[in-house]
């Protein structure tokens, strides 16, 4: 399969090893055995049935290829799985297996089970990114660089502020992920817990409760046993949990992509303000030995773009008909799991990027002078306007900036030499107005404020 060469490199390899067909089969079995246990505990199954099922099935070698082939006729993996499981059970146990459940109960719950460790891994990676960002921004709280708007040089700021924004974006996404719930799914054929009559129940629970109430009780108990959250009701065509998951994953992808895009732009040869962490073979070209490509940034951005596409599929499948989706539900599975694996892969790269980013303050100083100091025309304009008037001040500040650029002299010197400024403004005032380090606004305060927020749980 081409996935190993074209898709998997963008994903977390650890996650790929844990999210495979075997894991899904294990998840389906865990759901069914947990369901039998909570049903037995409430008298719906004879005593000892759940343990007998576990003994018969836990060591059973399910035919994954056959389950995969069965999806074409049943529409999902749960149907052929249940058939295989029942066939592996003693005859007297088969009617107790999958009691009151439907295939969507199995698939949705298994997806939640598979995503649970992935969300924990994402949280750990985002915490790594947060720690690295705080350290980096504090180290460069006063490192002056040029700020750029519309891809052009604008005004100075500190590199610490730039890192602070990367860190805040990633941490906002982490905190959003932390609020997510992974709900169990259990409702039966039309999500009202039909078919739960147990031995001798005559349509009533053993304690006389209505079967619908018993169904909700089983749903809650199943959630507790599987360590998933409890939904208000079964959510077969209420896809808000999937919407929340997909968009939260996309928010992480967006934050990581912003980091990667900025770093990639700053690594350009003509800019050279940062470099990706090195390593043997990292960033090499197949034909140009001198190159050191920002490969980590490329992997992050490639993963993020795929996540954006996956999320669009999920968003377009949100409104599902009546009591069971016809293709919409089926379309969610791959985009949802792949998004988690892609985001985890992107964050593995982002953590290494932030922890080992090489910063080049000398290049930042060099780039501040590219315009001959012209980026400081705004503070110069503000200095000159009270004395010369707005129009003259704007013209003179621009003329001196062009002189500085063409002649390769300092902006302050070009201003001092301008004939219309002779005797008008003190040289010291001009030097201060043209010093980028003295025109940083609230940069340092922003770094400190961001660091305090990032370190607050």
Quick one: tokens of 337?
């799991």
- Cα–Cα distance between 317 and 284 in angstroms, integer? 41
- 3-class secondary-structure state, position 426: coil
**231 DSSP assignment:** P
For residue 59, how far is the Cα from the chain centroid? 36
What pTM, to 2 d.p., does this model score? 0.92
Q: What pLDDT does 202 receive?
A: 43
pLDDT in tens, 81-120: 999 999 999 999 999 999 999 999 999 999 999 999 999 9
Beta strands in 116-262 (DSSP E): 144-149, 152-158
Quick one: tokens of 327?
């293709």
Q: What pLDDT does 128 receive?
A: 98
Beta bridge partners of 156: 146
Q: What pLDDT does 115 receive?
A: 98
pLDDT in tens, 229-248: 999 999 999 999 999 999 99
pLDDT in tens, 360-406: 999 999 999 888 778 898 999 999 999 999 999 999 999 998 898 88
- The residues annotated as belonging to the active site are 285, 324
Output the 3-class SS for 287-346.
Answer: CCCCCCCCHHHHHHHHHHHHHHHHHHHHHCCCCCCCCCCCCHHHHHHHHHHHHHHHHHHH
Beta bridge partners of 158: 144
- Cα–Cα distance between 26 and 255 in angstroms, integer? 33
Q: What pLDDT does 374 receive?
A: 81
What residue ranges of the chain have pLDDT lower than 70?
1, 197-212, 279-291
Q: What pLDDT does 198 receive?
A: 53
Quick one: tokens of 84?
């295989």
User: Which contacts qualify for 75-79: CB closer than 8 Å, 24 or more apart?
Assistant: 75/103, 75/330, 76/103, 76/104, 76/107, 76/330, 77/24, 77/28, 77/107, 78/28, 78/103, 78/104, 78/106, 78/107, 79/103
Quick one: tokens of 224?
């507790």
Q: What pLDDT does 445 receive?
A: 98
- 3-class secondary-structure state, position 156: strand
Q: What pLDDT does 206 receive?
A: 46
User: Which contacts qualify for 350-353: CB closer than 8 Å, 24 or more apart?
Assistant: 350/125, 350/129, 350/170, 350/256, 350/259, 350/260, 350/296, 350/300, 351/125, 351/128, 351/129, 351/132, 352/277, 352/296, 353/259, 353/260, 353/263, 353/276, 353/277, 353/296, 353/297, 353/300
- Cα–Cα distance between 337 and 344 in angstroms, integer? 11
Quick one: tokens of 140?
């460069």
Quick one: tokens of 257?
């992509």
**192 DSSP assignment:** S
- 3-class secondary-structure state, position 229: strand
């Amino acid at each position: 399969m081409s996935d190993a060469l074209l898709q998997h490199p963008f994903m977390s390899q650890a996650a790929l090893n844990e999210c495979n067909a075997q894991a899904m089969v294990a998840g389906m079995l865990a759901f069914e055995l947990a369901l039998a246990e909570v049903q037995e505990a409430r008298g719906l199954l004879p005593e000892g049935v759940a343990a007998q099922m576990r003994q018969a099935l836990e060591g059973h070698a399910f035919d994954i290829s056959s389950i995969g082939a069965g999806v074409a006729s049943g529409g999902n993996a749960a149907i052929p799985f249940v058939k295989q499981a029942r066939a592996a059970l003693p005859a007297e146990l088969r009617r107790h297996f999958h009691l009151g459940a439907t295939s969507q109960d199995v698939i949705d719950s298994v997806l939640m089970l598979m995503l649970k460790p992935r969300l924990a891994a994402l949280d750990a990676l985002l915490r790594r990114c947060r720690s690295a960002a705080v350290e980096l921004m504090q180290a460069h709280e006063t490192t002056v660089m040029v700020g750029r708007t519309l891809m052009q040089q604008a005004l100075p700021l500190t590199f610490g502020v730039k890192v602070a924004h990367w860190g805040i974006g990633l941490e906002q996404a982490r905190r959003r992920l932390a609020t997510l719930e992974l709900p169990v799914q259990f409702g039966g054929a039309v999500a009202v817990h039909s078919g739960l009559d147990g031995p001798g129940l005559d349509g009533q629970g053993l304690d006389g409760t209505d079967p619908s109430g018993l169904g909700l009780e089983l749903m809650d108990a199943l959630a507790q046993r599987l360590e998933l959250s409890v939904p208000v009701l079964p959510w077969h065509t209420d896809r808000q949990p999937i919407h929340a998951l997909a968009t939260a994953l996309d928010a992480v992808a967006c934050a990581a992509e912003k980091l990667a895009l900025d770093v990639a732009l700053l690594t350009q040869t003509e800019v050279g303000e940062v470099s990706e962490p090195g390593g043997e073979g990292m960033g090499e070209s197949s034909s140009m030995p001198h190159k050191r490509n920002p490969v980590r940034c490329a992997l992050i951005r490639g993963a993020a773009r795929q996540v954006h596409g996956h999320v669009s599929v999920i968003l377009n499948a949100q409104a599902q008909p009546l009591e069971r989706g016809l293709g919409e539900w089926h379309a969610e599975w791959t985009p949802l799991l792949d998004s988690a694996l892609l985001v985890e892969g992107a964050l593995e790269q982002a953590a290494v990027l932030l922890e080992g980013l090489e910063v080049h303050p000398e290049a930042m100083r060099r780039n501040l002078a590219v315009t001959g100091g012209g980026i400081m025309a705004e503070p110069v304009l503000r200095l000159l306007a009270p004395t010369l008037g707005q129009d003259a001040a704007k013209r003179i500040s621009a003329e001196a900036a062009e002189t500085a650029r063409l002649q390769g002299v300092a902006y302050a010197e070009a201003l001092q030499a301008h004939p219309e400024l002779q005797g008008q403004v003190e040289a010291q005032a001009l030097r201060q107005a043209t010093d980028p380090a003295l025109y940083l606004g609230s940069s340092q305060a922003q770094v400190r404020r961001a660091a305090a927020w990032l370190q607050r749980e």
